[in-house]
Amino acid sequence: MSADDLSLEKHRLLLEARARDLARPQDTITPRELLYHVVLLKLDENTIGLPIDYVREIVRPPPITPLFGMPLWFSGVICLHAQILSVIDLGLWLGIGSRSPRNALAVLCGPDGDIGALVDNCIGFRPVHADEIVPAAGHVESSPLPSTLAITRDLCTIINVPKLVGDPRLRFGTHSQTTPAAGDQS
């Protein structure tokens, strides 16, 4: 067999393989189910994912004015695009501490308005598929982090932003806010 014959044989096999692929019934193809597109954020050693549908923007934190009598996780208020925005420390809110400097602010959309969440850094974006989620729902329920939507196998915690922003503790001055989650800043 000559080199040309070999080459021809090789081509034939290749074309046969392609034909088999194309001829395969559709139902044998199992596409991955895309659950979320998330913004990846660092909070100390933790990786947090925020579904991008609920993240308006990520900016370097502007100067923050603290307010008296607020819980520790409430960092204060900022002015962003001529609007006053409340800012929380996401690490303190989630109960994972505040050991590293907060260099980024994620603006989260809520039903009543936006809120800023301080994080260490934004490290990128990624799609999250169903097969990447830790299957046992109990993991999410028993997660030490409140407002957890899901946890991926590589330990990225996806946050349930509507639940977080809708948390009654964030609404100050109402009867539901008589006992702040953390300490008092005063």
Alpha-carbon distance values, 105 to 18, 26, 43 (Å) = 49, 45, 12
183 binds another protein (CB under 8 A): no
Q: Binding residues for another protein, how many (CB under 8 A)?
A: 28
Closest CA to 184 of 71, 76, 91: 71
Question: With respect to another protein, which residue has the nearer C-beta, 41 or 87?
Answer: 87
In the chain, alpha helices (H): 3-23, 90-94, 137-141, 161-165
Minimum Å distance from CB 105 to another protein? 13
Show the site string, 50-89: x = touches another protein by CB under 8 A, - = not: ------------xxxxxxxx-------xxx-xxxxxx---
Residue 35 has phi, psi (to 5 degrees) of: -95, -50
Residue in 10, 99, 163, 171 binding another protein, rule: CB under 8 A: 171
How far, in Å, CA of 21 to CA of 12, rounded? 14
Q: For residues 35 and 129, what is the distance between their CA atoms, to the nearest angstrom? A: 5
Of 66 and 97, the one with the shorter C-beta distance to another protein is 66
Among 172, 180, 181, 182, binds another protein (CB under 8 A): 172
Give the nearer residue to another protein in terms of CB position, either 72 or 140.
72
Identify which of residues 66 and 124 has a Cβ nearer to another protein in the complex: 66
Distance CA 20, CA 81 (A): 57
**Residue placing its CB nearer to another protein in the complex, 128 or 170:** 170
Closest CA to 48 of 129, 162, 125, 141: 125
Q: Which of residues 107-166 bind another protein (CB under 8 A)?
A: 110, 112-113, 115
What's the min distance (Å) between Cβ of 115 and another protein? Answer: 7
Asked if 71 contacts 184 with a C-beta cutoff of 8 angstroms, the reply is yes
Using CB under 8 A as the criterion, which residues of the chain lie in contact with another protein when the complex forms?
62-69, 77-79, 81-86, 110, 112-113, 115, 170-174, 184, 186
